[in-house]
Structure formats: structure tokens, C-alpha cells
Amino acid sequence: MRVCRLPYREQSAELVSGIANEPWSVFLDCGHPRTRQGRWDIVAARPFLTLTAWAGTTRVESTQGVEFHAGDPLPLLRSFIGQTEESPGFPFAGGAIGYFSYDLSLRLGVLADSGKQGPEWPEMAIGLYDWAVLVDHERAETYLVSAGRDPATDAIWDDLVKLFSGPFQGSEDHWQTSVQATSDLPWPRYQAAFQRAMRWIADGDCYQVNLTQLFTAEVKGSSWGLYQSLRRLNPAPFGAFFNHPMGDVLSSSPERFIELRGDQVTTSPIKGTRPRGADQESDQQLASDLANSAKDRAENLMIVDLLRNDLGKVCQTGSVAVPALFEVKSFANVHHLVSTVTGKLAPGRDAIDLLRATFPGGSITGAPKRRAMEIIDELEPHRRGLYCGAIGYIGFNGDMDSNIAIRTLVRQGDTVYFGVGGGIVADSVAEQEYQECLDKAAPMLRLLGSGRDGLVG
């Protein structure tokens, strides 16, 4: 492992400016300084190997050429990550960074392929990175680190030190909206889908269904500029910018999916939302209303139980616990009800096993998971694509951290997609659930220059 200390900058986005336009550049963003809930930022680029899975085939590209592999891509990813290597003091010192889309469920056998159409987007896109820049905002320190997996890193090390030491050159970050955002489930269609979901719940098919809608807009200009605007408007502790050759990912997610440190597992599901108030008094009232809502607490508890079951598949017997239940956490635009579930990974299990056991996150499916996903597939007009999947890393040290890919824009050409949704339970009210969707969508709609008026009818 190789380490070089760099000058600390409170604004990690400056570190990304010189590489943002490079394919496979990535920024895992804790939202600092506009949110203080995260500690580390990770910046990486120029992976020595990439894996892109789509329609049952994984394309692997490296300096040795291109190969194609059929079937489940997770064992393939495990083989490239290889043996665990220690990286003391750092959450990540090289490894896999990228995303696992919601539609990867089709390859993992969680959900049957109904043939439904959606955004033309890979089911998994992962780069293996030998070096990364880590920014520790708690200690005001920045480091360039390398795992030593790629011999080419030595040849560019001094250039990397210079690049990330500044001064930083601004890039062309201009962007503009060209077509207003529209939803594939405007109010009449949402209401019909909601009523169908309620019938399934009443019949006992499931307890909760996360019904989502897909918004589409058009923009021109810089994706990196668009992301900087997004993180200013909606700073979040699990944000991400990912420049993929097939399109760009811009995430301002508030939700952690799975964290693995050594053998310690943590997941933090969100269920329950209120908008922020216009003043301190109304804001506190909304937070209090959320904290005391029997419906939201019950909805949250359903997902906590689901995740306890998921973790129990790969964690040591008796180790799964719920150290925090129904905490109200406040973000830039909404309050959320958040719980924390932990466990101790069983001997012989690794991050890939943990990912397989828990994917996709229960907070964006419903309960029981498989039946809820089948109902979702019937109700939602399009496949979800990356939305509701996970973005994050699995390090060569065996550790993992990832978000739930909500409040996330996916851009292909001039088209931008993003989804919003919420959990429906037996006592849900259609108008309130639809309003919750709009509350969650509000930052993206403001970003893209859209108001709510044209979306309800």
C-alpha cells in the first residue's frame, strides 16, 4: 500500500474538476460541508479493469483486451477483487467502485424477467481502481492512496500528486434544461395503480408495496455542472457522481444501504417522510408529527423486520440487533424516519455474500420482498433501471459501503431520468402518498426548472 498526504480542502468537488469528464471517473460524496452527517469523500479515476453487465452478459475490459462472460456477474466480480488486503486507517484504498442497478435482481434470481421496457442502462457497472483520493473531513486531512494492484500507478504517481495538490482549473460546467420533467404515473394513473396495490394488500399478498414513478426531462451541457448544482440544492451524506461511458449518474441519496467494516454489518433503512417547514416552528412541528406517526412507525418497522431477516441469512446467529429505531433525521429538503440494523458477518462470508442476501434494499421494495417486487413489476409502467439499486464500493480490504440509489439522476445524451416513490400500506391514503412522492421529487424538479402544477393532472 502506498500513501501520500495532500493539502486538505473543505470542498472536495475541487478535486474532481480535473477528472470529471474522464470516462469512469467517480466521486463518492458525503455532502460536506453543507451536511455534517458524513466523514469521508472518495475520488477515483482510470480503473485498470471494468465490468459492465447487461442482458445476461458481462463485458470485462482491461489492458489485456475485452472478454465476455455469461450469467451471474457477482462471482466474476469476487474473482477480480481477490484476496483481502489490509488498509489501516482508511475506509478504502483501492477496489471496486460503481453501481448495482435494481434490474440486477433479474440476474440474481430475485425477480423473473417480464420483458418490461425501461431506460437502456447496464445492470451493473463496476471499475477496479488501484488508486483513490480520500478526504477525511473529521480530521481535515486528504490522502492519495494506492493498493499496488496496477503496475501503471507507479509511472503516474507523481503526476497524480501534482494533479490533486492544485491549483485546480475550472471546467466547463454550464448546463440548462431544454424539456420540462414529466412523470410516467401522473395523478390519474398513480391513483389507479394505488388502488390495485391496496387490493393486493387487502387480500394478504403483501404488507407493504413501494410504488414509484419515473420522471424524464432533457438537459444540455455539463453533467458535472449539473451535479454540482444538485449537491448545492440537495446535499446528502451518500451522494455520488459517476461518469460511465453509457451515461452519467448523479446521486444525492440520504440513505445508506449496507456498510461492512471487518465483520461488522450496518444498514440504515428510511421509511417515513415529511417536508421541511417554512420556519423553525413549522419545521419542528413536521418533525414531531413524523416521530409520532403510528402509520410511519409501523411502515418503518416492517422494513426493519425484513432487513433483520435478510442479515440473518449471512450473519452469525444471535448477532442481528436494532440499536436505533424510529430516529428522525433532518436533511436539506425533508425529514426522514431512520432505523439502524446491525449484525456480525458469519465466518466464511464476504461482502459479495452480504450484497446478494440483502439486494435490493427492502426500503424500496416492500414486504415480503419477493412478492412486493412482483407487484411492483405489474404496477409500474417501466423497469426501474439504476433507480433503487445501490452505488458504492467494495474495497480490496473486504470492506463495503453503499447507498440506496434514490434522489438519483441518470443521464444518457440529453435525457435525464429520476424516480421517486413511497411505501403503501393498509391505511395509506392515495393523495397523501402522491404528495410524499412530490415532496421527495421537489429538489430534482426545482433543479430541472419544473414546478408541480403540470405533474398532478
Among all residues, which ones are annotated catalytic?
255, 271
What b/e sequence results for 157-177 when a residue is b if at least 16 CB atoms lie within 10 Å of its CB, and e otherwise? Answer: eeebeebbeeebeeeebebeb
Q: Which phi and psi angles does 146 have, rounded to 5°?
A: -140, 140
Nearest Cα to Cα of residue 209 among 378, 395, 384: 378
Quote the CA–CA distance of 125 and 98 in Å, as a whole number: 6
- Cβ proximity of 88 and 118 under 8 Å: no
CA distances for 340 relative to 20, 275, 324, 334, angstroms:
33, 22, 5, 19
Alpha-carbon distance 141 to 135, whole Å?
6
- Report yes or no: 247 and 415 within 8 Å, Cβ to Cβ: no
**Coil vs helix vs strand at 17:** coil
- Residues facing residue 43 across a β-bridge: 27, 133
Residue 163, all three cell numbers: 494533479
- In order, the DSSP letters of 280-292 are HHHHHHHHHHHHT
Positive or negative, the Cα torsion across 217, 218, 220, 223? positive
Q: How far apart are CA 59 and CA 127, in angstroms?
A: 12
Q: Which amino acid is at 122?
A: P
- DSSP SS3 for 377: helix
- As a whole number of angstroms, the distance between CA 91 and CA 88 comes to 8
Helix (H) or strand (E) holding 422: strand 415-424
Cα dihedral 445, 448, 451, 454, rounded to 10, equals: -100
